[in-house]
Structure 1
Amino acid sequence: MDFQTYPSSFALAVLDAAAAKGVDQGGIVGKLGIATDVLQSEQGRISAKQLQEITQYVAIALNDESLGFLQQPMPVGSFRMMCLACLGAPNLREVIKRSQEFYGLFSESLPINHYEKDGKTYWTIDSGITSSDPKNYMIPAFFGALYRWSCWMINQKIVLDSVAFKSAKTDIPSDFQVLFSCPIKFSATENYLCFDTAYLDKDIVQNEASLKVFLRGGNAGLLAHPEDNDSYHFKVQGILRQAASALNIEDVAEQLHCSPETLRRKLKQEGTSVKQIKDGLRRDEAIYLLSRGNHSIEEVAAQVGFADSTAFFRAFKRWTGVTPRSYIQSTDEADH
């Protein structure tokens, strides 16, 4: 089961953009049952379901799939129509051309382009929207959606050479930084996805029937961490998820056919550790269970491996900046 969560800043970015367009932010939060302290916490997390509900609610309220980030809205159904326009393309090169032509209808707000240089393709997005996106959500999210969609169109993982953002590293949420599984450049002269030009000749293999399945996850689904991510973070995460019992770093390193020292070094380069990954998995499962409202704090504590609820309470507060009770209360409020 996928327990993936997202930073509360993702939700706040969407809610703030919607509020600037006249949508009642408090009404959305109350209707969807997300506690204010969860949203405001710098470490706060929300479930994938909650992020999907927020984006869907805002998109419908504004009739805008850009969620209020752009000056010119993209009516609900725009992304689906772009996908349909690209399904008949012979290869990824033509798909990119058609997608650019489609989004050219919104060029004043979302200028995207691509160029080829030294065997590499650079897919670019101008950052003229950053004034309405102080949390730097829109461009990384749009890149993530384009990337996942392109891989799906050819039914093959596109190995990215690099991703670049005009924004500074400290301005891009870490969840975006692990989404692409490649080096990321910050404070760059342009925003781009870079990959080998050979991918442009790959055949398009999808159809209308498979498109319906692909779109079921909504906007949040397009930001899900890919299962074929090559980072050590995700390799370790996969091993820990499948383990029948608790594993230490020696156990994990043995399954990855490397020494514990090498694994520590690789994870440090990615800004994490086995302990942090373990904590993240427990945190995300706890948030998922608490936000569903079907379990008590004591039951959730036991399910994620804590002998008593007091220890779980302390750990959860350390992970998220808020107490487990916040998620229980927000669920109760949404039910009334």
Structure 2
Amino acid sequence: MPVRSFTIPEALPGAGAAATPITFARTIAAAYRRAGRDPSGALKLAQIPPALLHEANGRMTARQMELLSGTAMQELDDEGLGAFSRRLPWGSYGMLARASLSAPDLGVALKRWCRHHGLLTGDIRLSVVSAGAQAAIVIDEHADLGAAREFTLVHVLRNIHGLACWYVDSRIPLQEARFPFPAPPYAEVFPILFAPTVAFGALRAELRFDARYLALPLRRDEAALSLMLQRALPLTVLQYRRDRLLVQRVRQALAAHPLQTHSAEALAALLAVSPRTLHRQLKDEGATLQGLKDEVRRARATELLLRTPRPIKQVAAAAGFLNEKSFIRAFRGWTGQSPAEFRQQAMPPA
């Protein structure tokens, strides 16, 4: 099956935006019928007209999805919503979250969660893998999930990603999401649900993200968990504002792409956020974009001046400046010296 990538600009809808495919509601209604139950009460509670289930491209809001899913899980006593060969009784995912709460960092917590999920069902196996700077949560399928396959893979990945963000009290931006099924008619929704870049027709379902998030310590306790479990489902549909690694990610992008990050717009595009979100989140972390630019450029320029014989013009370009004049002005502001004076003073006498 060929892999097809689908990318759209960042577009995170509010909880009131009707962006969730109605096909997910059809899957939940089908779970009711397989259990010999009538879904009409749950649909009414979520304010989803039964006729909407038959609209090919129908949409519902995140709140409607939350209400429908939560009601179905409790009424059917199955948090897997009929997808697995045995039920996942109500409270199963809360148990997994509690079992990982004592982990020293996110990486250990996610590995525990994945291992314990395997005790609930062997139909799918989750694991956390990392290679270099990138980590991934992956799902290997060991049973036929039938008509519920697409919804189940989406549901499980949204669940563990939302929990991961909650554990460390940070947005964990996804670099890519991959799914082992063809692009559905509503493929444009997947970048909203997961990441700016989504690949269909992949070998397995997975979420890819910066591996440094795995080292973040957990910031939650038992009291916070009990409170969260009273309304856990919003974790799967709402984005965290805070990104505890954003400052590091900005530094890395500025250092790796000095000529492509002159503007906030270009840098934001590289980080898959909007310029407004970039400035707001940096402010939340007590940093500014200009301050980080100065920090990264100064370190790069100082290194080149001290360790290489490159002309000042080349040092300016390598440090991310558009011209030599602006570099000299900035360097004098940092050190009180011109780049040439700094280099001459630092060189040992002949």
TMscore range, shorter length:
0.5 to 0.7
CA shift, 1:60, in A, is: 1.9
Bigger Rg, structure 1 or 2: 2
Cα deviations across residues 210-269 of structure 1 (Å, max 9, x unaligned)? Answer: 2233334343x1332415499xxxxxxxxxxxxxxxxxxxxxxxxx9869xxxxxx8xx9
User: How many angstroms apart in 1 are the aligned matches of 2:69 and 2:15?
Assistant: 19
Cα deviations across residues 181-203 of structure 1 (Å, max 9, x unaligned)? Answer: 33211101121111222221110
Classify 1:188/1:2 alpha carbon distance in 2 versus 1 (closer, same or farther; 3 Å): closer
Task: Work out whether 1:8 is the aligned partner of 2:39.
Answer: no
User: How many angstroms apart in 2 are the aligned matches of 1:19 and 1:185?
Assistant: 32
Classify 1:161/1:20 alpha carbon distance in 2 versus 1 (closer, same or farther; 3 Å): same
CA shift, 1:101, in A, is: 2.0
CA shift, 1:162, in A, is: 1.4
Classify 1:184/1:46 alpha carbon distance in 2 versus 1 (closer, same or farther; 3 Å): closer
CA shift, 1:49, in A, is: 3.9
Task: Work out whether 1:140 is the aligned partner of 2:154.
Answer: yes
Q: Which has the higher contact order (CA 8 A, sep 6+)?
A: 1
Native 8 Å contact 2:80 2:87 kept in 1? yes
Report what 2:180 is aligned to.
166
User: How many angstroms apart in 2 are the aligned matches of 1:110 and 1:87?
Assistant: 23
Native 8 Å contact 1:56 1:218 kept in 2? no
Opposite residue 168 of structure 2, the aligned amino acid is I
Opposite residue 20 of structure 1, the aligned amino acid is R
Native 8 Å contact 1:13 1:137 kept in 2? yes
Percent of aligned positions with the same letter in both sequences? 23
Provide the aligned C-alpha RMSD in A.
3.1
Aligned ranges 1:160-199 → 2 under 5 Å: 160-170=174-184, 173-199=187-213
CA shift, 1:43, in A, is: 3.2
Native 8 Å contact 1:17 1:132 kept in 2? no
Opposite residue 133 of structure 2, the aligned amino acid is G
For the residue of structure 2 that corresponds to 1:72, the secondary structure is: coil
The runs of 4+ residues in structure 1 deviating greater than 4 Å are: 30-33, 256-259
For the residue of structure 1 that corresponds to 2:100, the secondary structure is: helix
Report what 1:223 is aligned to.
236
Classify 1:25/1:97 alpha carbon distance in 2 versus 1 (closer, same or farther; 3 Å): same
Report what 2:222 is aligned to.
208
Counterpart of 2:118 (choices 104, 110, 116) is 104
Counterpart of 2:163 (choices 143, 149, 153) is 149
Q: Which runs of 5+ in 2 are unaligned?
A: 1-13, 244-262, 274-350
Aligned ranges 1:1-336 → 2 under 5 Å: 2-5=15-18, 6-26=20-40, 28-29=42-43, 34-128=48-142, 131-134=145-148, 136-170=150-184, 173-219=187-233, 221-226=234-239, 228=241
Count, aligned residues: 237
User: How many angstroms apart in 2 are the aligned matches of 1:226 and 1:130?
Assistant: 31
Q: Which runs of 5+ in 1 are unaligned?
A: 231-255, 260-265, 271-336
